[in-house]
Every structure is written in structure tokens, then in C-alpha cells.
Amino acid sequence: MHRLTDQLILYSDLPGDSILMRLAEICRDAAAGGAEKSALIHRCHREVKRLLDLSTTYAFDGNLWQNYLTFVMVTHLNSFSLTCEQRGAHDGSVNRIAEHDFALFLRLFTYDFGWLEEALGIDCFTVLTHYRAIGKDAVMYNRNVSERIRALSAKIEKAPDAGAVFALVADHLRVCGTGLFGMNAAFRVREQTDGGIDFIAINNLDRVTLDDLVGYDIQKKQLRDNVEAFVAGRPFNNTLLYGDAGTGKSTSVKALVNEYGPRGLRVIELYKHQFPLLSAVIAQIKKRRYRFVIFLDDLSFDEGEVQYKFLKAVIEGGLESRPDNVMILATSNRRHLIRETWRDRSDMEHEEDIHHSDTVEEKLSLAGRFGCAIRYGSPDRQLWDAMVLELAARQGITGVDAESLLREANRFEIRHGGVSGRTAQQFINQLAGCAEAGE
């Protein structure tokens, strides 16, 4: 195996701790002799476990080795994969190099681990090439990724030569893109110990759409119009969803992932303590073909917090312009995001500012960076009743007349913080839970 991986060009920079490269090193050491058998067995079992873990994450089945190699081929970022993502596989010298690597991968597809198993007295690789996975609930993995990888793996297995593999992979990259962004729509960010960043895919999103949000038709239209412009490459505005708690602001963002993900929208959730990573995030996504929403949930700043100044400069106002494929979308219970006090209005007398109320203007300037500000207010009684009845119908709650249902809902909201979409859903959840328990 090491003789094959040593010849890779585009994929030569695969991490040394990747499963493929570690197995190649194991094969090198086993072939050379001199390595302790028990140590080699331990190293093999460790890579087999990693392969099983990856296969569990993506619900691979059948030949896990081939599924894994396919996963590597379409997620590795290199000049060929990024070109295919942007423009497709046009004529170019890089295509010949890609075919060279795919010929090696085709040989790796049918690599015989028999000699290694015989030498070490193990049989784990044989099991992996004829694997029967335990059925999983769809929320445990990304079904789209799993299906795409397994389908492509099956086609590559039957490919007659490297040219056929080239065509299959190039077509996949053109349609789906490369890397994790090509197979997932929502991400969180994790900082590496060396200061770099990793994007962590979010698989178990609620399958909600904007139409599932009862009411708020004007707000949904404003949000859709702005996002439609963004996805289509037209001028758009950074977006702020603000208003009362539990009114569907965060739910609306989840709905955007589900509705616009197939059209190339990607959402990256960033927490307030991660704002220093914002420039690094933008640097990694600004040249990709996808449209990225950087999602700042429940954004607000208390007096004394100064991270908003950094955020303000990054959103708009720094020397480097914001890329056209990046939108900042924040949700907040506050319209102006930063806690204001009456003391801010007396800054000239108490803080020695020359101009009156400069502190107020400084704090309001962050909200001004969001050209699309949409307010989600608490529902009136009529909308509240409509929410309760609609959610009850979706849940399949029967045997309770509307008048009794609304009376119980009103009692519930008095004890649980007032009328909101969240409170209505909590009431329906309680009602459905009791019904299933037979109470």
C-alpha cells in the first residue's frame, strides 16, 4: 500500500494521521520486518476502529474501505477538486495529474489485505470489506452524504479505468462541490490548538420550513426576499432578526438551511466568544462557490463588553470589503444589540466626551450595519389561538374541542411566561406526552 500512497500527487498532502496514511505506514513497517507483532496488531485495530467510527457517522455499509476511499477523494481540497467545484473539469494539465492519482485509488479500491492479516493473525479487514451496518435513525447521520458517498463508491468499484473514475469524481464535484461544504449545509467552528479552525458539520437539524412557522407572514416574506437575492447573487443586506423571546427567530434560520441548502446556502454558527475567529472563517470561505450565512444567535452585549467593536469592523468598515458570498445574520431580543443606559446620554458631563451623546451613537452603530432588520413581536390573542390550533392539528391531537383546548392553553401560558410560539409548542408537547401516556 505504501508504494501506492508514495506516488500520489494531488492527494500527497493527506494528513499523516489520516486512516489511509497510517495504514500505509503499518504496511511499510510490516513488510520491512523487525517491528513488534503486538504493536502492529494494536496499530491495525486502532485504524479499524477509526474506520468504523467514520462509517457510523456517515452510515456507510457494504465495503467500508471503498466507502472511505471515496470519501477521501471527494472531500480533499486540492487544485483539481476546487476547479471542478467552481467551473467543472475543463481541459487542463491538472486533469492528467488527477487521472494519475485516480489510477492509484482504483488500485487501492481492490487492495488485498490478506497478506497483512496472515502475517499478524487477524481478520478485521475482511470483515470491513463485507460489512453489514446496524440500522440507524436518520437524525444520527447525514442521509444525503451517506447516500451520495455509497452511490459513488459503487460506481467507482465498477469503473474500468482511471478515465472513468475521473469522469465520475469530476461530475460529483461539479454538482455537489468538494470538502465538507459539498456534503453538509450547517456547521459550527472549532479552534485548533495552533490557532487554525475546523468546521464541524451539524447533522441533526430540525426539519422545519418557514411555512411551518405559524403567522409572521410579513417577516417571512422580508427574510425570503433578502435571502433569495443573496442566493441568486444579487445585492443583499446583512440581516438582524430581533424581538420578543420564543417568537421564531432561530427557527427561521433553521428553516433557511432546509429550504436553501440544496441551492448552495451554507450556515456557519459562531458564538460570541469566537468573534476573534471571524476573519479566519471568512478567509476560508470567501473563494468557495457556496453562499455562506454566518449565524450569530442571541446576540447582545452588556455594558463593558467591547467585542462589538471588533464585530462592527469585520461586518463593514474595515479595509477589506466583505465577500459577496458572505452574509451576517444575527438574532437578538434587543433591537440595538448593546445594553444602553441613561448614563450614555450624559457622557459629555460624566465621561468628558466633547460631543453630546457620542456614546449612544457608538452603541447604535453596530445595529446600523444590518440593512435588513426584521422584528418578531409576541403574537396577539388571535394569532396565539391560531398557533395552538394549528400545532395541535399537526400533532394529531383529537378528541378535544377547540374551546377546551384554548382554555387549557391560556392557563398554560399564564404559568409559562406569556404567549409566544415557543410556549404554544411547549403546551402541545405536554398535551401530546400526556395523551401517549394515557393520562
Nearest to 247 by CA among 420, 65, 387, 44: 420
Share of the chain above pLDDT 90, in %: 39
Q: Using one digit for the tens of pLDDT, what is the confidence trace for 48-92?
A: 999 999 888 888 888 999 999 999 999 999 989 998 888 777 777
pLDDT of residue 140: 36
Residue whose cell numbers read 445594553: 339
Nearest to 325 by CA among 408, 435, 229: 229
Nearest to 375 by CA among 253, 220, 210, 213: 220
Q: Using one digit for the tens of pLDDT, what is the confidence trace for 397-430?
A: 877 788 888 888 888 988 887 888 888 888 888 8
- Helical axes 143-158 vs 162-176, angle rounded to 10°: 160
Quickly state the pLDDT bin for 431 (edges 50, 70, 90): confident
Mean pLDDT in the chain?
A: 83
Contact 259, 293 (CB under 8 A): no
Q: Using one digit for the tens of pLDDT, what is the confidence trace for 343-359?
A: 544 544 455 554 445 44
Q: Using one digit for the tens of pLDDT, what is the confidence trace for 363-377?
A: 556 667 788 999 998
Q: Using one digit for the tens of pLDDT, what is the confidence trace for 88-123?
A: 777 777 899 999 999 999 999 999 999 999 999 998
pLDDT of residue 439: 55
Residue 226, pLDDT above cutoff 50? yes
Taken in order 9, 129, 177, 372, the sign of the CA dihedral is negative
The answer for residues whose C-beta is within 8 angstroms of residue 79's C-beta and 6 or more apart is 10, 94
Segment holding 327, helix H or strand E: strand 326-332
Residue 188, pLDDT above cutoff 50? yes
Range 201-376 has CATH code 3.10.20.90: no
d(CA 384, CA 371): 30
The answer for residues whose C-beta is within 8 angstroms of residue 214's C-beta and 6 or more apart is 383, 386, 387, 390, 391, 421, 424
Grid cell digits, residue 187? 456547521
pLDDT of residue 342: 42
Q: Which amino acid is at 267?
A: V
CA–CA distances in Å: residue 228 to residues 205, 264, 324 = 21, 11, 14
Quickly state the pLDDT bin for 276 (edges 50, 70, 90): confident
d(CA 415, CA 11): 60
Residue 47, pLDDT above cutoff 80? yes
Segment holding 102, helix H or strand E: helix 93-109
Residue 136, pLDDT above cutoff 80? no
The answer for residues whose C-beta is within 8 angstroms of residue 10's C-beta and 6 or more apart is 76, 78, 79, 80, 94, 97, 98, 101
d(CA 236, CA 327): 8
Grid cell digits, residue 12? 500527497
Residue 361, pLDDT above cutoff 70? no
Backbone angles phi, psi at 355, to 5 degrees: -100, 140
pLDDT of residue 22: 95
For 134, other C-beta atoms within 10 Å of its C-beta total 7
